[in-house]
Amino acid sequence: MAWNRNGPGDVPALSALLLAVVRFMWRAVGRPRVDVHANGLHVIGFWDRCWIPGSAVVRIATEDGMTISTVHGDEIPVFAFSRSLLDSGQAAAAAAQMRRVKSARPGVPGETPKAVRRPDWRWADLTFAPLPILMLLAATGVYGTWS
């Protein structure tokens, strides 16, 4: 059988690589979205989450991907919609839905709450950690000397 010819660390290295690739694909394709609430937008991106109050939204642009501009000068990219031709129709429809939370008159920077960004990590993101460590060990030659 082919598995008998593998070294002792090959299966864990391959497993770590596959888990990291699957998790990366989930973060890039399956996870990003925008939740529209009555009082603001909850933007879930590749590595972070952002709450944008509706009174802080000045502009939702779809020309170069999708970005949300706030009264505080923040430009928040929306990872869920890109510049690709596949997303072009969806981005316009999504922007129309998102504009419903935008106030008719944007707030004043000193009085309007700022957009709140925070990193978003889950336990499954630990699958990214073994891969660079195993690659570093293999590059330095330590990994191949265990057997």
Give the Å distances, CA to CA, from 78 to 47, 68, 95: 12, 7, 10
* Domain count within the chain: 1
Judge whether 46 lies within some domain. Answer: yes
Q: What is the pLDDT of residues 95-145, one digit of tens each?
A: 888 888 887 777 777 788 888 999 887 776 766 666 677 667 766 766 555
Give the span between the Cα atoms of 130 and 91, in whole angstroms.
Answer: 36
Q: At 10, give phi and psi (nearest 5°).
A: -70, -40
Does some domain include residue 17? no
The tens digit of pLDDT for each residue in 88-108 reads 577 778 888 888 888 777 777
Is the residue at 58 inside a domain? Answer: yes
Residue 147 lies in a domain: no
